[in-house]
Amino acid sequence: MHPKKALIKLKFRYVIRKIGIANSKTNILWSNQDYILANVQAAQSLALPEFSDIPEAEHQIRRFGNIKKVIDEVNKLQIRGDIIEFGTWQGMSLLLFNLALGEDSSDRRLIGIDSFEGLPEDSNIWKRGAFSNTSLDTARRNISMRIKYNQEFDLIKGWFDDPRVTQEIESIVSQISIVHFDADLGSSTKSALDIIGKFLPGRTQPIYFLFDDWGCHPDEVPDAFYTWLHSNPIDLGIKAEKISSTRFTRYYRITVGN
């Protein structure tokens, strides 16, 4: 090989190595809750292609931007109702919703539902007990320490297919504007969809379904959603319009009726 070409190749390898190290460090930063909460708003003005090869940065920055767009639309259409989340873990996503709501936070409650015991079964890429490094007290304390704008929040402990969970949701919620599905498993997502389905008959305004973990495995969240969607009575007229997506997420505007 010509000496000049060899030098160029060596320099190229060095640059790629430096970029790889930088990307790895950035990925770690964007896995830290406090770093995300402190920087995700400002990051909306950055050129997103810079983060396309950094999974956590791309995930957190783009999903926050898409959450904000959904909230802006909900406010513009004057859709009332709380924000419900299935799969709360330690409360990170609820804090992102709080941040995206800003001064409008006081008009909506955040409600998180979780077993706080980890995943109930093995399935594809997931292992039973994953995400068990939490508890009801851990999540409540974490949210209480970091939540802004005096927003109200409630946490419900239980498996999604437990009738008591449905009863508790119905006892404290009358209207829902946004549902965040972060249950990882297809079976858990289907149980959460069945609960929300009870709030849909007679609805005249859109409701927004925000799916996390969509891109993790096609037989999990996507399969659960499509199965649920096609199993609803045709006279209910449920329509799903995709409004945004990222590597791991997909968000839908759901309408009911003709």
pLDDT in tens, 170-229: 999 999 999 999 999 999 999 999 999 999 999 999 999 999 999 999 999 999 999 999
pLDDT of 2 > 70? The answer is: no
Amino acid code (one letter) for 53: D
For residue 127 the two structure tokens come to 């292992």
Share of the chain above pLDDT 70, in %: 89
Q: Per-residue b/e over 10-26, b at no fewer than 16 CB within 10 Å?
A: eeeeeeeeeeeeebeeb
- pLDDT of 27: 82
Q: Please give the Cα distance from 92 to 72 (Å, whole number).
A: 20
Phi, psi of 255 (to 5 degrees): -120, 150
Beta strand ranges found along the chain (DSSP E): 82-86, 110-114, 153-157, 176-181, 207-211, 239-245, 250-255
Between CA 182 and CA 225 the distance in angstroms is: 13
133 pLDDT more than 60: yes
Which domains does the chain possess? 31-255 (3.40.50.150)
This prediction has a pTM of 0.88
